[in-house]
């Protein structure tokens, strides 16, 4: 029974054990996409934990009895279940395997015992079409040390039973006994610059372009919309920057390693006005974005960061890649039929491009 699996060692037949996020990281690793190193605490570990005691039956009975319309009751039962998951001792073997994997990860990155990691839940039902479900599990950043890792793995497991999650599954008719949880433990990225890259132009659906939004520090600033990011429009085929809108980026999120949290700080005016990516970095981001798109065979919406702790050329880090949905699902906009042959040439002569634009 594999309780943990490093992204690199997981085989496709293992993917069901890793949850949606974990499987995706493993498959990206297998494709040599530059995801931060890490491992998954598999669903086997969770299941071993549930079945080592009578936890499983207790929880199922508890959930069955919930009337989701009764908010007070839902909250109370949810709290009880989570307390159970946080208190029960882990089976010794499970715990020692997780500790061992964390130590191994620390050694891999040259920070014995002290590597800051992100601990994220990766539910097996996560890859349901409604992506919002994914956000209902938790992510813990800047976790350091074996004990802390164990503690946060538990918290992830417990997050399966927040009131919101229970209510969601009830509404979606997702059977409770199908729900398992894997947990991703992954090297924290110390982002110098981060952002998103779309492998099409979201303003017109043009798939020959890559659009990058980027700002200083961790990607949260871009994703949350707290800053107006630098925006680059790049020709995907030639990797040529067609347009670069450089903005004043007032704030950035940076790790506060001591307090193990993210802090928000003002950016000094000089740096705020500077592009947060060099032209070469823009191209490097695009090159990898193209690889990612090719791997998934459809336009992608990619979260990435340049890791300040890694050397140039190796610092691109892929955080997450999702299929782009807006344009991909929209049937190709019914444009006026392109005129071809002689009609096309006639049209070109009669309505020169300059007059059409």
Partner 1 sequence: MDNKFISPYDHHAPAGAENWKDLYPYYMVFQDNLKESENAKFFFCDSQHWPNVFKPFDAITVEFAVKCLSQYNTRQWLIPPANGIDFKIHNGYCYMSPVAVAPELIAERVPQFLERAGFYFQNWNDLLDNWHKKVKATIDEMEAVTFEPLPEVIPMDWVTGGVGLDPTYHLIHNYTKMIDLCYKTWMYHFEFLNLGYAAYLDFFGFCKEAFPGIPDLSIAKMVQGIDSELFRPDDELRKLAKRAVELGVADTLINHDLTAALAALAETEAGQQWIAAWEGAKYPWFNFTVGNGFYSTDKYWIEHLEIPFGYVQDYARKVLAGDSIDRPTEAIAAERERITEEYRDSLFDEEAQAAFDGKLGLARVVFPYVENHNFYIEHWAMSVFWRKMRDLANVLTGAGFFADPNDMFYFRREEIQNLLFDYGRGWAMGVPAIGPSYLPGEVARRKAIVDALSTAPPKPAFNEPPTVVTEPFTIMLWGITTESVQGWLTTAEVTNKLKGMAASPGTVEGVARVINNADELGLLQEGEILVTRITAPSWAPVFGKIRATVTDIGGMMSHAAIVCREYGLPAVTGTGSASTTIKTGDLIRVNGAQGEVTILQAA
Q: Which residues of this protein are in contact with partner 1, per CB under 8 A?
A: 201, 204-209, 233, 235-238, 240-243, 332, 337-338, 340-342, 344-350, 352-356
| Integer Cα distance of 325 and 332 in angstroms | 13
Q: Name the residue nearer to partner 1 (CB basis): 259 or 338.
A: 338
Q: Name the residue nearer to partner 1 (CB basis): 96 or 351.
A: 351
Q: Name the residue nearer to partner 1 (CB basis): 233 or 310.
A: 233
- 181-187 and 4-6 beta bridge pairing: unpaired
Six token digits for residue 328: 């991909």
| Integer Cα distance of 80 and 67 in angstroms | 15
Q: Name the residue nearer to partner 1 (CB basis): 11 or 329.
A: 329
State in angstroms the smallest separation of the CB of 244 from partner 1: 10
State in angstroms the smallest separation of the CB of 290 from partner 1: 9
Q: Name the residue nearer to partner 1 (CB basis): 258 or 355.
A: 355
Q: Name the residue nearer to partner 1 (CB basis): 72 or 238.
A: 238
Spatial strand order of the sheet with 4-6 comes to 4-6, 38-41, 181-187, 117-123, 139-143
State in angstroms the smallest separation of the CB of 238 from partner 1: 5
| Integer Cα distance of 235 and 232 in angstroms | 10
- Chain centre distance of CA 244: 26
| Integer Cα distance of 174 and 171 in angstroms | 8
Q: Name the residue nearer to partner 1 (CB basis): 225 or 352.
A: 352
State in angstroms the smallest separation of the CB of 225 from partner 1: 25
Six token digits for residue 81: 């279940």
> For residue 342, how many C-alpha atoms fall within 13 Å in the half-sphere facing its CB?
0
* Phi-psi group of 131: left, alpha or beta (phi > 0 → left; psi -120 to 50 → alpha; rest → beta): alpha
State in angstroms the smallest separation of the CB of 96 from partner 1: 49
Q: Name the residue nearer to partner 1 (CB basis): 274 or 328.
A: 328
């Amino acid at each position: 029974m594999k309780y943990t699996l490093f992204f690199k060692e997981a085989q496709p037949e293992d993917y069901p054990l890793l949850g949606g996020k974990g499987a995706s990281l493993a498959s990206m690793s297998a494709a040599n996409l530059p995801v931060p190193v890490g491992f998954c605490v598999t669903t086997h570990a969770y299941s071993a934990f549930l079945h080592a005691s009578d936890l499983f039956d207790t929880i199922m009975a508890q959930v069955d009895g919930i009337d989701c319309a009764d908010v007070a009751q839902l909250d109370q039962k949810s709290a009880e279940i989570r307390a159970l998951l946080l208190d029960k001792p882990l089976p010794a073997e499970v715990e020692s395997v997780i500790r061992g994997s964390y130590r191994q990860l620390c050694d891999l990155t040259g920070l014995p015992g002290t590597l800051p990691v992100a601990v994220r839940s990766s539910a097996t039902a996560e890859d349901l079409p409604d992506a919002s479900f994914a956000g209902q599990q938790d992510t813990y950043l800047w976790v350091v040390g074996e004990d802390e890792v164990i503690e946060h793995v538990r918290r992830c497991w417990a997050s399966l039973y927040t009131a919101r999650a229970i209510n969601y599954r009830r509404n979606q008719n997702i059977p409770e006994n199908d729900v398992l949880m894997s947990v991703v433990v992954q090297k924290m990225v110390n982002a110098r610059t981060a952002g998103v890259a779309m492998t099409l132009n979201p303003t017109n659906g043009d798939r020959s372009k890559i659009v990058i939004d980027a700002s200083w520090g961790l990607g949260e600033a871009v994703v949350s919309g707290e800053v107006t990011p630098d925006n680059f429009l790049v020709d995907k085929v030639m990797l040529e920057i067609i347009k670069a809108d450089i903005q004043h980026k007032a704030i950035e999120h940076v790790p506060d390693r001591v307090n193990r949290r993210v802090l928000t700080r003002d950016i000094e005016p000089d740096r705020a006005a500077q592009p947060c990516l060099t032209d070469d970095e823009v191209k490097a981001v695009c090159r990898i974005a193209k690889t990612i798109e090719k791997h998934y065979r459809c336009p992608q919406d990619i979260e990435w960061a340049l890791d300040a702790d890694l050397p140039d050329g190796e610092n691109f880090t892929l955080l997450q890649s999702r299929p782009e949905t807006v344009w991909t699902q929209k049937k190709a906009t019914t444009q006026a039929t392109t005129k071809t042959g002689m009609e096309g040439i006639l049209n070109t002569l009669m309505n020169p491009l300059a007059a059409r634009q």
